[in-house]
């Protein structure tokens, strides 16, 4: 079925893919072969090829310069935006105009290309699950993502061979997942604190319509920042306690990317432990000494308190924009892994005066909601409708560098606005429009989305009547149309995205992604699964030959069936099936293995060692 649409949560730290199970009507996350629902959003560029997910995450500390994590924070951004943060990132970010470029593994890549590797892995995971190709997806983004960041996400999808049929805001997706059974009608606040981004959305749920009233957030605030303040605090503590060793060995940990990455990972692990425990011990081995210290939840809370405090301003602004006060909120929903931090829960509860919902796994709820929206688009659900808003005001630069707002923030989308323009010089053929997004009055303080150049027929000044239409589609992405009314000719528009990829670049990236497809870790993992299956088949065959007379007919038949099933699975491409069949053969031969072991011990098999027959289990 080519009309299948999957739901993808492309997260800062982890990504997931989900779908709606036709039988139950409920959304489900598709796990990997080992049953893990989360795919770490980590991509390593190694000499052997590109590695994604858990294997890439495992080498974060080993190959810090070539392993990209938290790339979502770089999507749709320029070097100037991220250079402060770049100091803390172990991989190299190239200085330059336009969108951010990374230098990793001896090549230059853009954030959409890195995200495309993650999306492709999820696409393949879904394809294995369904046993057919998947081409369409709903992908979620933080509600507060601007146009360039949304466009970059769409580009990532295209590079991965996915048609992104809808971009959905993460908090709204979460409300859809909850809305299926758990929300009653009323006003809902969704507080979404993820690995790198923070969003808050206020929705009215009524008659199956999920109407977003206001949204606010910070696209640079999340669990990553918690880890960073904790890591820097640890760094100071290490310097204070072990300065003798550090001085002796002339070590500056802050300049050692591997040590810093170890520190960051240790900080993250400690933060996670402190969500469920009151105290924890950190042990970090360094060359020449081992750092150990006990840390309490109060220590962590003292460090992250200012960060948690930064989420409260956007919550109040969203309430004000919705024309509501905290008392008007009927339900509060928590989304994102960082809402597991007890301090975050306390602050949210204090602000809204309600015990927040967290029945659904905060890591999975966004993907589940994306699957629900995908099902709506596929025609599977007709009684639910999501009415989202554009998070930021959209305008044009006018004289004096002032922004003239055409579409104010929190306008329900799709929406459109029209403006009429004319020329100031005789025979003018080129009109330049500078489109901006943001809440500040001056163009220089807003985000430049791009320049649109309109080409028109020459006419005396003031004669042309150029109608420019801005349309924000249901994805929150801007489209611009222009028409010169006197000649009734559509003016041709050239879009120059400030922090984006142009058509040619996306095209080239799609081609590139096919050329390195062979090196994909997913393919490699399939090969590994087949190798494991081969090993087990050899051992099972040998065991049957040696010990067929030691077990009864029924058991022999069961083993033969399992072996036949594994042979069949091995010839296919479904890694999950191969894994399952391999486990089944192992289980079926368990008893035979014991019998053979006994026999070997009794010397019935002469001097041959049992392990030689059975293989290392």
Catalytic residues: 9, 72, 170, 192
Taking CB under 8 A as the criterion, the residue among 62, 92, 292, 418 binding another protein is 418
- Tell me the C-alpha distance between 70 and 292, whole Å: 28
- For another protein, give the closer residue by CB, 55 or 380: 380
Q: Which residues contact 516 (CB under 8 A, 6 or more apart)?
A: 49, 50
Taking CB under 8 A as the criterion, the residue among 94, 298, 420, 519 binding another protein is 420
Taking CB under 8 A as the criterion, the residue among 99, 164, 165, 231 binding another protein is 165
Taking CB under 8 A as the criterion, the residue among 95, 269, 461, 604 binding another protein is 461
- For another protein, give the closer residue by CB, 465 or 524: 465
- For another protein, give the closer residue by CB, 121 or 466: 466
- Tell me the C-alpha distance between 196 and 229, whole Å: 14
Identify the bridge partners of residue 7 per DSSP, sorted by sequence position.
18, 138
**Shortest separation between residue 424's beta carbon and another protein, angstroms:** 3
- For another protein, give the closer residue by CB, 208 or 285: 208
- Residue 245: exposed, middle, or buried by beta-carbon count in 10 A (0-12, 13-18, 19+)? middle
- Residue 312: exposed, middle, or buried by beta-carbon count in 10 A (0-12, 13-18, 19+)? middle
Residue 218 in the binding site for another protein (CB under 8 A): no
Residue 433 in the binding site for another protein (CB under 8 A): yes
User: Which uninterrupted H or E stretch holds 521?
Assistant: helix 521-547
Q: Which span (25-33, 51-59, 205-213, 240-248) binds another protein, by CB under 8 A?
A: 205-213
- Tell me the C-alpha distance between 482 and 599, whole Å: 85
204 — phi, psi (to 5°)?
-110, 125
- Tell me the C-alpha distance between 131 and 136, whole Å: 15
**Shortest separation between residue 387's beta carbon and another protein, angstroms:** 6
Q: Which span (184-192, 222-230, 298-306, 468-476) binds another protein, by CB under 8 A?
A: 468-476
**Shortest separation between residue 422's beta carbon and another protein, angstroms:** 5
Give the number of residues written for the chain. Answer: 617
Taking CB under 8 A as the criterion, the residue among 316, 483, 524, 556 binding another protein is 316
- What number of H helices and E strands is found in the chain? 18, 30
Residue 419 in the binding site for another protein (CB under 8 A): yes
Residue 387 in the binding site for another protein (CB under 8 A): yes
Taking CB under 8 A as the criterion, the residue among 186, 288, 309, 401 binding another protein is 401
Taking CB under 8 A as the criterion, the residue among 2, 184, 283, 424 binding another protein is 424
Residues in 330-359 that interact with another protein by CB under 8 A: none
**Shortest separation between residue 425's beta carbon and another protein, angstroms:** 7
- Tell me the C-alpha distance between 69 and 224, whole Å: 10
14 — phi, psi (to 5°)?
-135, 155
- For another protein, give the closer residue by CB, 323 or 353: 323
Residue 397 in the binding site for another protein (CB under 8 A): yes
**Shortest separation between residue 464's beta carbon and another protein, angstroms:** 9
- For another protein, give the closer residue by CB, 283 or 383: 383
- For another protein, give the closer residue by CB, 92 or 440: 440
Establish how many alpha carbons lie within 13 A of residue 317's alpha carbon, considering only the half-sphere containing its beta carbon.
Answer: 17
The gap from C-alpha 579 to its chain's centroid, in whole angstroms, comes to: 26
Contact status, residue 288 vs residue 245, Cβ threshold 8 Å = yes
H-type helices in 277-378, by residue range? 297-310, 312-322, 342-352, 365-377
**Shortest separation between residue 414's beta carbon and another protein, angstroms:** 4
- For another protein, give the closer residue by CB, 385 or 601: 385
Alpha carbon separation from 152 to 145, 158, 194, 370, 610 (Å, rounded):
10, 10, 19, 18, 57
Torsion sign (Cα): 202, 205, 206, 208: positive
CA-nearest of 343, 133, 78, 313 to 217 is 313
**Shortest separation between residue 415's beta carbon and another protein, angstroms:** 5
CA-nearest of 184, 178, 282, 188 to 230 is 282
- Tell me the C-alpha distance between 51 and 183, whole Å: 40
Residue 199 in the binding site for another protein (CB under 8 A): no
Residue 480 in the binding site for another protein (CB under 8 A): no
Residue 396 in the binding site for another protein (CB under 8 A): yes
**Shortest separation between residue 409's beta carbon and another protein, angstroms:** 9
- For another protein, give the closer residue by CB, 131 or 462: 462
Contact status, residue 156 vs residue 11, Cβ threshold 8 Å = no
Residue 519 in the binding site for another protein (CB under 8 A): no
Q: Which span (46-54, 84-92, 202-210, 222-230) binds another protein, by CB under 8 A?
A: 202-210
Residues lying near another protein in the complex (CB under 8 A) are found at 165, 206-207, 209, 211, 313, 316-317, 320-321, 323, 376-379, 382, 385-387, 396-402, 404-405, 408, 411-425, 428, 431-433, 439, 441, 461-462, 465, 467, 471-474
């Amino acid at each position: 079925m080519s009309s299948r649409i999957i739901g993808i949560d492309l997260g800062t730290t982890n990504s997931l893919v989900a779908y709606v199970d036709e039988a139950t009507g409920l959304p489900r996350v598709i796990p990997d072969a080992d049953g893990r629902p989360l795919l770490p959003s980590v991509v390593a560029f190694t000499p052997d090829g590109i590695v994604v997910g858990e294997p890439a995450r495992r080498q974060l500390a080993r190959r810090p310069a070539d392993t990209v994590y938290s790339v979502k924070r770089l999507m749709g951004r320029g070097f100037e935006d991220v250079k402060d943060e770049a100091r803390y990132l172990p991989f190299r970010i190239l200085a330059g105009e336009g969108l951010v470029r990374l230098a990793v593994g001896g090549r230059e890549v853009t954030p959409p290309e890195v995200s495309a590797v993650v999306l492709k892995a999820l696409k393949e995971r879904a394809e294995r699950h369904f046993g057919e190709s998947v081409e369409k997806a709903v992908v979620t983004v933080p509600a507060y993502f601007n146009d360039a960041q949304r466009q970059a996400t769409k580009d990532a999808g295209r590079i991965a061979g996915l048609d992104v049929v809808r971009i959905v805001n993460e908090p709204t997706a979460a409300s859809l997942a909850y809305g299926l059974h758990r929300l009653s009608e009323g006003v809902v606040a969704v507080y979404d604190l993820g690995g790198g981004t923070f969003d808050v959305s206020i929705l009215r749920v009524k008659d199956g319509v999920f109407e977003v009233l206001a949204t606010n957030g910070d696209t640079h605030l999340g669990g990553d920042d918690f880890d960073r303040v904790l890591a820097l605090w640890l760094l100071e503590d290490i310097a204070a306690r072990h300065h003798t060793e550090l001085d002796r060995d002339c070590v500056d940990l802050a300049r050692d990317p591997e040590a810093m990455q170890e520190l960051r990972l240790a900080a993250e692990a400690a933060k996670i432990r402190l969500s469920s425990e009151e105290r924890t011990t950190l042990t970090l081995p360094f060359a020449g000494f081992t750092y150990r210290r006990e840390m309490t939840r109060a220590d962590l809370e003292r460090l992250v308190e200012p960060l948690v405090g930064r989420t409260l301003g956007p919550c109040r602004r969203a309430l004000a924009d919705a024309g509501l006060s905290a008392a008007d909120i009927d339900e509060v929903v928590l989304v994102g892994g960082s809402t597991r931090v007890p301090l975050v829960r306390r602050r949210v509860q204090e602000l809204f005066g309600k015990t927040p919902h967290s029945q659904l796994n905060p890591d999975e709820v966004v993907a589940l909601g994306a699957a629900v929206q995908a099902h709506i688009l596929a025609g599977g659900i007709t009684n639910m409708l999501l009415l989202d808003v554009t998070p930021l005001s959209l305008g044009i630069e006018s004289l004096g560098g002032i922004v003239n707002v055409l579409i104010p923030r929190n306008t329900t989308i799709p929406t459109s606005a029209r403006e009429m323009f004319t020329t100031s010089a005789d025979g003018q053929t080129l009109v330049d429009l500078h489109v901006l997004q943001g809440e500040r009055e001056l163009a220089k303080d807003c985000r430049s989305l791009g320049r649109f150049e309109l080409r028109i027929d020459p006419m005396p000044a003031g004669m042309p009547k150029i109608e420019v239409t801005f349309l924000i589609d249901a994805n929150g992405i801007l489209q611009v149309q222009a028409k010169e009314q006197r000649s009734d000719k559509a003016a041709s528009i050239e879009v120059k995205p400030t922090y984006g990829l142009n058509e040619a670049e996306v095209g080239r990236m799609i081609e590139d992604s096919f050329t390195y497809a062979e090196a994909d870790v997913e393919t490699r993992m399939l090969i590994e699964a087949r190798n494991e299956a081969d090993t087990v088949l050899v051992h099972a065959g040998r065991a049957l030959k040696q010990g067929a007379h030691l077990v009864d007919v029924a058991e022999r038949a069961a083993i033969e069936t399992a072996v036949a099933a594994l042979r069949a699975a091995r010839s296919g491409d479904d890694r999950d099936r191969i894994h399952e069949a391999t486990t089944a053969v192992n289980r079926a031969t368990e008893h035979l293995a014991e019998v053979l072991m006994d026999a070997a011990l009794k010397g019935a098999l002469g001097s041959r060692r049992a392990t030689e027959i059975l293989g290392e289990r």
